[in-house]
Amino acid sequence: MSTKAPLDYQLVPADEISQRVARLQRHMQQGPMDGALILDPVNMYYYTGTMQQGAVFVPTEGEPVFLVRRSYERAQMESPLQQILPLKGLSQLRTTLADLGLRANVLGVAETTLSVAVFKTLTKAFPGATFTDVSGLLAMVRAVKSDYEVQRLRKAGALHKLVYDAIPAMICEGMTEWELGSAIQQKMMALGYTGITRFTGFGMELIIGIVSCGESGNYPTASVGPGGLTGLSPAFPLVGGNRKLGRGEPIFIDTGFGYEGYFTDKTRIFSLGALPAPALDAHKACLDIQEAVRCRLKPGAVPSQIYTEVCNQFVHSRNFAKHFMGFGSNQVPFLGHGIGLAIDELPVIAGKMHTPLEANMVIALEPKKGLEGIGLVGIENTFLVTKAGGEKLTAGSDEVTIV
């Protein structure tokens, strides 16, 4: 079979991959580690340019090794790495690395994405080796986007706008949340949406996002965000449920849009007819909070300080804390989260995040407010960290759209 890649999609440039590897190696050189062993698909893609079954070993110094179970042939087509070798199983890892002259006595692994079964296999494959968690290290390397990545995020944001521009024409009184979500998904897929929304957290699932009408937005959820929803059944608490869209109720639509692997996150509120005054007032307050955080998204700013300052000034002092960032048990202790190859990346605008922001970090801000008897209102936009503050990548009006 030909080793030429298909012509209908672009590959990640070789210099982009080499720069990522170099950044990781600079961080690893600060500690006693022989290298990082990467097995999860998102980080594998980040350091190889392809998603396959296998493992990537990035030594503290030298060229990485890509060991592939399946598909070795496709890995050769899509990855610019020079050392790509077939692998029958994880039990062969140590022998293969030793044959290449690579030490593997102290190995970094991403514990947040590593199953117990795989870890047991690794301990047998590397007897006597020491394993250290590099989940945070991998996340911080990915948190600062390259110009190549920012280009894809800008494109995702532009396509995301087209989705939301089309939503008012989709909304009809009496249709269900699920029906509206299905129409939105169809539009997203037509624009090149990747079909799923990836998370770094173990076991988390999402298709397009959340579509909730009225008090559905306050329904208890296992999601890590503030948005509630019912879903079609307890076995499928995703997208939306069978509640019909009613007049004068907030229609809460929170979606991620993926372009060439990179996601923007966006929330807008729609309504069939006017919303009650408390909903409009709460939405306006959320816009004020978003702007207060956006202005502070500058290199050197500390997320925990941003969180504390904004919450003190705009939340606590205005008696806005009840059901802010989620109704009841849905309440979450952050104002925004990093985003890129996954929806939930670093940094987080939260009280315990003390690492300063850097230029080209990308953060989704999502101040939201649950209102008893009404539902959920608020906003979400994706911003690029710049010297002038956050640059909005998800264009479009932030105001409630009356249909």
Question: Rounded to whole angstroms, how far apart are CA atoms 403 and 270?
Answer: 7
What are 242-269's pLDDT values in tens digits? 999 999 999 999 999 999 999 999 999 9
Helix (H, G, I), strand (E, B) or coil at 249: coil
Question: Rounded to whole angstroms, how far apart are CA atoms 135 and 358?
Answer: 19
Amino acid at 295: C
Question: Which is nearest to 246 in space by CA: 141, 172, 299?
Answer: 172
CA distance to 17, 238, 309, per residue, from 82 (Å): 11, 41, 48
Which residues, in sequence order, are bridge partners of residue 174? none
Q: Where are the alpha helices (DSSP H) in 108-199?
A: 116-125, 135-143, 147-170, 177-190
Residue with tokens 């396509």: 159
| Strand locations in 170-291 (E) | 209-213, 251-259, 262-271
Q: What's the pLDDT at 206?
A: 82
Domains of the chain listed by start with CATH number: 14-142 (3.40.350.10), 144-402 (3.90.230.10)
> What percentage of the chain carries pLDDT values higher than 70?
98
Residue with tokens 């290298």: 35
Question: Rounded to whole angstroms, how far apart are CA atoms 308 and 316?
Answer: 10
The edge-to-edge listing of strands for the beta sheet with 345-350 is: 345-350, 334-338, 362-365, 381-384, 391-392
Question: Which is nearest to 207 in space by CA: 234, 242, 231?
Answer: 231
Q: Regarding predicted confidence, which is higher, 195 or 85?
A: 85
What are 59-104's pLDDT values in tens digits? 999 999 999 999 999 999 999 999 999 999 898 899 999 999 999 9
Helix H or strand E encompassing 293: helix 277-294
Output the pTM of the full model: 0.95
| Strand locations in 308-374 (E) | 334-338, 345-350, 362-365, 368-371
Q: What's the pLDDT at 4?
A: 58
Query: Strand 83-86 to strand 65-70: parallel, antiparallel, or no bridges (unpaired)?
Result: parallel
- The model's confidence at residue 9, banded by pLDDT at 50, 70 and 90, is confident
Residue 341 token pair: 């190859």
First to last CA, the chain: 54
Query: For residue 43, is pLDDT > 80?
Result: yes
Is the four-CA dihedral 166, 171, 177, 183 of positive or negative sign? negative
